[in-house]
Amino acid sequence: MKIILHYILLSCLALSQGEWISVSGKIVSSEDGNPIIGATVLVQYSTIGTSSDNDGTFFLKHIPASRKTLSISAVGFKTVTVTLTNEEKQEQTIQLTPSPVQTQDVVVTASKRAQSLEEVPVSMSIVDAKSFSDRNIVSVDDALRYVPGVNFQQTQINIRASSGYSRGAGSRVSLLIDGMPLLAGDTGEITFESIPVFQIERVEVVKGAGSTLYGSGALGGVVNVLTKDIPEHPLVWWRLYGGFYSPPVFDEWKWSDKTRFTNGQYAGFTERFGRLGIAFSLHRVSDDGYRDNDWLRRYSGYVKMKYDFSPYQSVTVSTNIFQQYRGDFLWWKDVKNALHPAEGQQNATVTSLRANSSILYKHFVSEDFYFDIKAIHFRSNWYRDSLSTKRLDESISDAIVLDVQGVATVNQDNTLTAGLVWNGERIRSNIFGGHDGQGGAIYAQDEHKFSTDLSIVGGVRYDVQRVIGLQTNQQVNPKLGIRYHVAEGIALRSSLGRGFRSPSVSEYYTSTANTGSAAIVVSNTTLKPEHSWTYEIGMVQNYSGHMTLDMALYQSDFSDLIDASVGLDSSISKSAAVIQFKNITQARIQGFEMSCAANFLDQAVQWNVNYNYNWAVDRDTKTFLRFRPRHSASTNISYKYDLMTVGADFRYSSRIEQIDDKLVQLAPIMNGDERVPVYLLDVRINTHMLDLGLPMTLGFTINNLLGYNYVELIGNMAPPRSFVLSVEGML
Amino acid sequence: MKFHIPIFLITMLVNAGCNEGLQPISLEETGFGGTISFVSKLPPPDSLFDFRIVAVPYYPIDTTFTQILIKILNDSIAYSPSTIQTLDSGSIVRYKMLVKPKIYRYVACVQQYGPDSFKQWKVVGIYGFTTVNSAPSSVVVKDGIFTNSIDMVVDFYHLPPQPFKTP
C-alpha cells in the first residue's frame, strides 16, 4: 500500500512540476553546415522526443524546466547533449560532428534499455530507415541480408549459423517489434512480411544467445524492429514504386509470354492533437511473381497513437493488420523447369491474416527510475487451398505477452534492469490440433561501471514454459559481459550467455499426411527444449573518425537441437516414410566476423565491407550442419554527387555444404541438390529533389544486375534481374 | 567525360559476369525412379548376394528364369545396376532406372539369395503390390520423360507371389 501511495505521490509531483519550455531549432553537420534529416532529439529522463524534418528543423514543447537536457543523435554523427536555458521559448542550432561508425548510436535491445552502442558488450548491427527507402526494400528480411553474420534460407533467418532450415516450424531467432515478441503462436516462426516497413525507425540485431533478457527463442540472436516516434509537426508521406522482372535468359525456363510486374503503394500521415499523437498508414503490394504460381497481393494498415499524460508518462497503442494472398510455390518441378512448381502444387494458394496490437505505458518516476508495462496480442490465421481441396491446412493462433520492467540507476556506477513476463498461446488447427500454452519469466540485470573505461554486465533469467497437457520446461539463463576501452578509439568486449528454446506447438503436434509426398508427419510430445552456450570476444577500433573496424571471434555449443527425423516405422505406416521432430543434434559453431565502415571525400563516399566465417559441425556425426554457408561476405558503396546518390551492394555466400538429402529424396525435389555459391549485385540511383524545392526523392534500382541464377532454399530459384522505379515524398 | 572510361569498364565487367550460376541442365533422361523402403531386417550376408530392380513389359508368370535371362540379354527387360552396397535395414533408398520408352507392366525388386547368379533369385518387392492390391501396377515410360514416385516396399520375410516357373 505504501508503494502505491508513494507512486501516486510521485506521479502528482511529476504532473505538477513547474514551468514549461519549448524549443525549436535546426540540426546541421559541423563539417559543411548541411541540415541533418531524421536526427533524433530526446529530452533526457522523459517520454518527450522528436526527429528533425527534411530541412533539419525540429520543434519540441512541454519540456519541464526541471529536465532541460536534450540528447541529439543521428546515424553517422556523434551524439551530443545540450542543456537548455530557462527561457520559455528558445531556438537552438545544434551541430553534430560526423562519425563514420555507429558506435555513438543509441540502442535499446542489448540491455532492454536505451544505451550507447559503445557500452554494449555483445555484437550488434543496426539497419536504419534510410536503407529501406534507398534500396526500395519492401520486407524486413531483404534489409537484414546485408547484416554481417546474417543469412537466409528464403525467409528463414539464420544468425551466425544458429539455424538451418526448419520447414517453417520454430525459429532460433527472436523477432521483436518495439521490444515485444512477434512470433506466431502455432509455429513459432517469424513472418517478416507482415511488418510495416515504412514505419521502421531502425532494426537492431543482437548476435548470440539472448535468452537472459528475451527468453525462449532467442537462442541464436534477437531482431528488434523499432517503429518511428510521432513528430511534433504534421507530416504526410507517400511512396510509389513499380518495376518488372527480366524474362528468363534460358528458353527452357520461359513459362509466360507476359512481362511480370511488381508494384507497391504506401501512404500515411502523422499529427499531434495536443497531447495525443497519431500515426496512420496504408500499404499495398502486388507482385506477379517471376515463377509460375508465385504471385502475391498484400494489404496492410497500421495505426499508432501516443498520449502524453505528462512529460514523464505516456501510453502508446498500436495496431497492425496484414492480409496476404499468394500462390503456394513450394519447390520447382526440376531444374529444367525451375520456374514451374512441382506436380500437385499448381494453383495452390495460401491466405493469411496477421494482426498485432500492443500497448506500452512508460513512466519516468524520477531521474533515477522508470518503468514500463507492455502487452502485445498477435493473431495469426492462415489456410492453404489446393486446386481440389479447400482449406487443406488451416491454423488460427493467438499469442499474448505481458511484460513489466523497471530500470533504476542505483548509483553513478550501477544500472539495474529487472522485469516480469507472462505469455499465453491458444492454437486451433487441423494439423497442429487444439492446444493452449503459457509461461512466465523473471529477470534481472546489473550494469556496473568500474571506471570510465571498464564496465561489466551480469544478468539472469528464469523461464517456465508449458503446453497444457505436456511436461513443464524450466530454464535458468545467466549471462556475463565485459566492455573495456583499451585506448582512445579502441574497445574490447567479451560475453558469455545461455540460450534456450522451448519447442513450438507445431514441433510437438504437427500431424499430417498432406505433405504431397510419400511421407507422413507424426507428433512427438516428448520433445525437450534446445539449449546453447555462446562465448564471444570482440574488438572495435575507430581510425581518426573516418574508418571503423569491428572484429569478433565466437563459439556456440548447442544441445538437444530439434530437427526433423526421417525414417520408417511399420507401426505407423507400412509404406510411407515417417517424419517426426526429435532432439537429435549436438552442435558446435565456431566463427569469425569482421566488418569495416569508412568514408572518404568529406563523407561523399560511404563504404563498408563485411565477412563472416562459420565452422558449424554436428558433434555426433562430425558432419557440417545442414543449410549453412561456410563463408559469407558483403560490401556496399555509395557516392553522393550533387543531387544524386549512386550506390551498389554486393553479396556473396559460399555454396551450402550440406542439405537434407532425405527431404530431397522423399519430397521428392527433383534436382534438389542443384545449388551454387551466391554472387548478387544490386545497384541504385537516388535523386533528391529537395534542393529544387520539391520534397521528393526519385529512385531507380536494378536488383541482381548480373542476372545470376541461384537458390537460397533447395528447389527454389531466387529472383532474376529486376528493374524498379520509385518515388517518395513528404509534405 | 571523366566518367566514360569507368562506366565502360563496369559495363564490360557486368556483361562478362551475366547469367552465370545455375543452368537448365539437360534432363532428356527417359525412365523412372522412386524409393525403396525396407521394412524388415536385411537377410544375413550368406543369403543376400545381390539386389536389383527389374522392369518387365509383361507379367512374367509361368516364365522360367532362364527365359528371363535370355530376354535380359536381348535387351527387352531392363534391370538396374547392383544396389546391394546401399542397402540398410530400416532405411529408404532412392533408385533411378533409365529405360526405353514403353509400358512396363511388372516392376520389381529382386534378391539374389545364393551364389548362383543365373538361378538363385527371388522377387522381394513389386511396384503397386500392397496388402490391399495384390496386382502389380504398370509404369508408362515416355520418350524424354522421367517419371518419379515409383516407390516400392521390401519385406525380405514376407514375400509377394513369385512369378517364376520352376524350370
Asked if A685 is an interface residue toward chain B (Cβ–Cβ < 8 A), one would say no
What region, left, alpha or beta, does residue A66 occupy, with left being phi > 0 and alpha being psi -120 to 50 degrees?
alpha
Q: Are strands A414-429 and A20-29 parallel, antiparallel or unpaired?
A: unpaired
What residues in B contact A576, CB-CB < 8 Å? Answer: 37
Residue-wise pLDDT for B94-134, tens only, equals 788 888 888 888 899 988 888 877 778 888 999 988 766 67
In sequence order, what are the residues at sequence separation of 6 or more whose Cβ sits closer than 8 angstroms to the Cβ of residue A290? A245, A260, A339, A719, A720, A722
Q: Considering its fold, how many domains does chain B have in total?
A: 1
Q: Is residue B164 part of a domain?
A: no
Q: Which among A473, A494, A405, A404 has a CA at the least distance from the CA of A445?
A: A405
- The partner residue sitting opposite B39, judged by closest CB among A570, A665, A709, is A570
In a domain, B70, yes or no: yes
* Residue B111 domain flag: yes
Query: C-alpha distances in angstroms, A443 versus A412, A416, A452, B21?
Result: 22, 11, 26, 49
B25 contacts on A by Cβ (under 8 Å): 335-336, 671, 674
* Second CATH level (architecture) for the domain A140-730: Beta Barrel (2.40)
Domain regions of chain A by residue span: 2-98, 140-730
Going from the first residue of chain A to its last (731 residues), give the mean pLDDT of each consecutive group of 10, the final group possibly shorter.
46 50 86 79 75 80 76 77 83 79 60 73 85 84 90 87 75 89 81 85 86 79 90 87 94 92 94 92 95 95 93 92 93 91 86 94 88 95 83 89 92 89 91 88 92 90 90 90 88 90 84 56 86 92 83 93 71 64 86 92 88 92 89 93 91 90 70 89 90 85 94 92 93 80
Check if A710 contacts B (Cβ < 8 Å). Answer: yes
Q: Residue B108 domain-assigned?
A: yes
B161 belongs to a structural domain: no
Nearest Cα of chain B lies from the Cα of A695 at a distance, in angstroms, of 29
A575 touches chain B (CB under 8 A): yes
> A665 and B92 in contact by Cβ < 8 A?
yes
The shortest CB-CB distance from A336 to any of B14, B21, B25 is to B25
Its domain, for residue B116, covers: 27-154
ipTM over 0.95: no
Q: Is residue B88 part of a domain?
A: yes
Cis bond upstream, residue A668 (ω within 30)? yes
Q: Give B63's pLDDT tier (boundaries 50, 70, 90).
A: low
Q: Quick check: A668 and B149 CB within 8 A? A: yes
Distance (Å, whole) CA B40 – CA A579 = 18
Q: What are phi and psi of A292, to 5 degrees?
A: -65, 130
Write the CB contacts of A200 (distance below 8 Å, at least 6 apart in sequence).
A129, A132, A140, A225, A226, A227, A228
Instruction: Write out chain A residues lying below 8 Å of B153, CB-based.
Output: 574-575
The CA distance from A634 to A650, in Å, is 5
In order, the DSSP letters of A272-285 are EETTEEEEEEEEEE
What is the model's pLDDT at position B75? 58
By Cβ distance, the residue of B19, B38, B90 closest to A707 is B19
- In the DSSP assignment, the letter for residue A341 is B
Q: Give the one of A335, A575, A707 whose C-beta lies nearest to B130's C-beta.
A: A575
**Span A2-98: which CATH code?**
2.60.40.1120
Tell me the CA end-to-end span of chain B in Å, nearest whole number. Answer: 90
Q: What is the pLDDT of residue B76?
A: 63
Least Cα separation, residue B157 to chain A (angstroms):
14
Assess if residue B163 is contained within a domain: no
